[in-house]
Amino acid sequence: MSKRISAHLVIRYPRKSRKLTNTDRDILSGSQKPNLPKKYSGDTTLNAMTVEEEKDKLPDTIFTSLSEIKEGYTAIKQYGANLISLLADNLRGKALEFRITPSQIPEWEALNATFKNHKGLINYDMYITLQSYRAGLVKELSKVT
Amino acid sequence: MAENYLNVYKFENGAYTQISENADMTNPIFANIDGSAGGSIIKKYYLRNIDEDYFYINVNLKPMPEISVQSGNLLGLELRLLSGDSEPTSTEWDTVASGNSLISTSDYLSASPKRWYFPELVSKNASGTAIGADNNYYPFWVKWTVPPRSNVTDITSIYFELSATENYKTW
């Protein structure tokens, strides 16, 4: 007899943190717009091409995280999970949080574990950049269902 | 036809749970490692034959794909296996190379070092005749190691190949 025993390795980066500044709080409350790099200011889409185009201009850590976002988006499409919403965290968690409805798909547990592991990968320094992707990402993800 | 009663388990919250197979990721052998600092994760699992009418010899447990042909996000990953109930010491881990196999031996009592082996999963009498299945849980340890500054990634392409010669009872 011969069989394949499943294995799964996640390599993550620890969450970075710093104290919130007044500017952070203003951005959080919506009273001030984030000072986004010009390139990202009007960008409301996230797709493989966007990430690929931008990767050379971004620090490695940011690219890694954008890559993770892209991967998550791809995974949702691939598994066909019903999406309720995608929430950017409130800066206290300094992480993007994915919320998906289990739809009784066999892969749900693995997918859920994957997203739990993604939580915390994105730190505050990446948050501002990611904000410009958020609206487009939600829009794109809503098309999945 | 192979019945495949030989399985791998983990022990959590007072119960044994079977590790999933054939790319089913519901309950895999799992590790979560900080890629910035690199490092190792060591976890304990168990090998067990669940059937009383079958016995298993020539057991071989091996991480795949083989280290020598690993590429892409598997590069730099090290996987080592040792058997035994207590967690191996760093000296014991140093006795095996990454990608090593755990195999069964018919002379487990005199096997050295025992950490490299499983016993054959069969009960024998003094003259060496099979007299029953061996349904004990046999513990082993998996050590995952990644180098510092490893890229953030999610690897499911790796697996452990478990092979054995399956025999129907002769007793």
Indicate whether B5 pLDDT > 70: yes
Tell whether domain B6-168 is in CATH 2.60.60: no
For the segment B152-156, the average pLDDT, to the nearest whole number, is 83
pLDDT at residue B1, as a whole number: 58
B130-133 and B122-124 beta bridge pairing: antiparallel
What ipTM was estimated for this complex? 0.94
Chain B closest CA to A41's CA: distance in Å? 27
Quickly state the pLDDT bin for B76 (edges 50, 70, 90).
Answer: confident
Chain A closest CA to B127's CA: distance in Å? 27
Indicate whether B70 pLDDT > 50: yes
Dump strand ranges (E) for chain B: 6-12, 15-18, 29-34, 39-49, 54-64, 78-83, 102-105, 117-119, 122-124, 130-133, 138-146, 153-155, 159-168
Whether residue A11 and residue B35 make contact (CB cut-off 8 A), yes or no, is yes
Interface of B with A in 52-71 (CB under 8 A): 56, 61, 63-64
pLDDT at residue A127, as a whole number: 37
Instruction: Please give the residue of chain A at the shortest CA–CA distance from B163.
Output: A2
Please name the member of B8, B35, B152 whose beta carbon is closest to the beta carbon of A5.
Answer: B8
Q: Is B97 on the interface with A (CB under 8 A)?
A: no
Higher pLDDT: A139 or B97? It is B97
Nearest residue to A62 via CA among A139, A136, A121, A104: A121
pLDDT at residue A25, as a whole number: 59
Alpha carbons A31 and B167: distance in angstroms, whole number: 73
- Residues from chain B contacting residue A71 (CB–CB below 8 Å): 154
Chain A closest CA to B20's CA: distance in Å? 6
Indicate whether B154 pLDDT > 70: yes
pLDDT at residue A3, as a whole number: 95
Per residue in B9-62, pLDDT (tens digit) is: 999 889 999 999 998 888 999 998 888 888 899 999 999 999 999 999 999 999
- Residues from chain A contacting residue B161 (CB–CB below 8 Å): 2-5
Q: Is B35 on the interface with A (CB under 8 A)?
A: yes
The model carries a pTM of: 0.61
Q: Could you tell me the mean pLDDT of each successive run of 10 residues in chain A, 145 residues long?
A: 92 59 59 47 35 36 39 42 30 32 37 42 34 41 39
- Residues from chain B contacting residue A14 (CB–CB below 8 Å): 34, 36
Testing the interface with B: which of A8, A55, A108, A121 to mutate, by most B Cβ within 10 A? A8
Interface of A with B in 93-122 (CB under 8 A): 106-107, 109-110, 113-114, 117, 121
Nearest residue to B133 via CA among B170, B91, B80: B170
